Amino acid sequence: MVRREQLHQCGPVVWEIPPTVRPDMRVPARIYASAELLEQILRDRSLEQLINVATLPGIQQAAIVMPDVHEGYGFPIGGIAAMDLQEGVISPGGIGYDINCGVRLLVSELSVTEVQARLEQLAKSLYQAVPSGVGRGGRFKLNVRELDKVLEYGVQWALAEGYGEEEDLNVIESRGRIPEADAGAVSREAKERGRDQLGTMGAGNHFVEVGYVDKLFDESIGRVLGLKQKQVVVLIHTGSRGLGHQVATDYIRIMLAALSRYNIRLPDRELACAPLQSPEGQRYFRAMCAAANFAWTNRQLITWEVRQTWQEVFGESGGRLRILYDVAHNIAKIEQHTIEGRTQRVLVHRKGATRAFPPGHPETPPMYREVGQPVLIPGSMGTASYVLVGAPGSMEQTFGSTCHGAGRQMSRHAAKRAVDAERLRSELRQRGIVVQAGSVRGLVEEAPIAYKDVDAVVHVVHTAGIARIVARLRPIAVIKG
Amino acid sequence: MAFGYELHPHTADIRISLWAETFPELFQAAVVALAEILFPQGCEGRPLIVRRRVAVTAPDSTALLVDFLSEVLLYSQIRKALFCRFCPQSVQETFVEGKLRGCRVEGFQQDIKAVTYHEAEVYRLSQGYGARLIVDV
Structure confidence by residue, pLDDT tens digits, A111-123: 999 999 999 999 9
* A432 in a structural domain: no
Is B59 in contact with A257 (Cβ distance < 8 A)? yes
How many CB contacts within 8 angstroms connect chain A with chain B? 105
Residue B100 maps to which CATH number?
A: 3.55.10.10
Residue A234 has pLDDT above 70, yes or no: yes
Distance CA A288, CA A284 (A): 6
Burial of B40 (0-12, 13-18, 19+ CB in 10 A): exposed
Chain A interface disruption, residue of B70, B72, B118, B133, most A CBs within 10 A = B118
Tell which A residues from 299 to 338 touch B, by Cβ distance under 8 Å.
none
* A320 in a structural domain: yes
Residue A413 — pLDDT band, cuts 50, 70, 90? confident
| Closest partner CB to B9 (pick from A249, A269, A414) | A414
State how many domains chain B has.
Answer: 1
* A218 in a structural domain: yes
Average pLDDT, chain B: 94
| Closest partner CB to B63 (pick from A245, A256, A410) | A256
Domain that holds residue B94: 3-136
Distance CA B63, CA A136 (A): 29
Is B107 in contact with A132 (Cβ distance < 8 A)? yes
What ipTM was estimated for this complex? Answer: 0.91
Q: Which of A90-99, A135-144, A259-268 has the lowest mean pLDDT?
A: A135-144
* A429 in a structural domain: no
Quick check: A138 and A199 in contact, CB under 8 A? yes
Q: What is the pLDDT of residues A237-295, one digit of tens each?
A: 999 999 999 999 999 999 999 999 999 999 889 999 999 999 999 999 999 999 999 99
Predicted TM-score (pTM) of this structure: 0.95
| Distance to chain A for B10, nearest Cα, Å | 5
Residue A95 has pLDDT above 80, yes or no: yes
CB-based contact, B77 to chain A, within 8 Å: yes
Structure confidence at residue A425 (pLDDT): 85
Distance CA A99, CA A243 (A): 9
Residue A379, SS3? coil
Distance CA A153, CA A412 (A): 36
* A435 in a structural domain: no
State how many domains chain A has.
Answer: 1
Is A242 in contact with B80 (Cβ distance < 8 A)? no
Percent of chain A exceeding pLDDT 90 equals: 84
Structure confidence at residue B1 (pLDDT): 59
* A238 in a structural domain: yes
Chain B interface disruption, residue of A251, A404, A411, A451, most B CBs within 10 A = A411
Distances (CA, A) of A428 to A117, A367, A422, B81: 17, 36, 10, 34
- Cβ neighbours of A62 (radius 10 Å): 24
3-state helix, strand, coil in chain B (%, to 5): 25, 50, 25
Domain that holds residue A92: 4-409+451-480
* A443 in a structural domain: no
- Cβ neighbours of A100 (radius 10 Å): 31
Residue A434 has pLDDT above 70, yes or no: yes
Please compute the mean of the pLDDT values over residues B17-40 and round it to a whole number: 96
Q: Which of B33, B18, B32 is nearest to B123 (CA)?
A: B18
CB-based contact, A252 to chain B, within 8 Å: yes
CB-based contact, A72 to chain B, within 8 Å: yes
Residue A83 maps to which CATH number?
A: 3.90.1860.10
Q: Which of A271, A208, A203 is nearest to A241 (CA)?
A: A203
Distance CA A207, CA A235 (A): 8
Catalytic residues of A: 404
Is A77 in contact with B12 (Cβ distance < 8 A)? yes
Residues contacting residue B90 through CB under 8 Å, at least 6 positions apart = B96, B97, B98
Q: CA nearest B107 in A: which residue?
A: A135
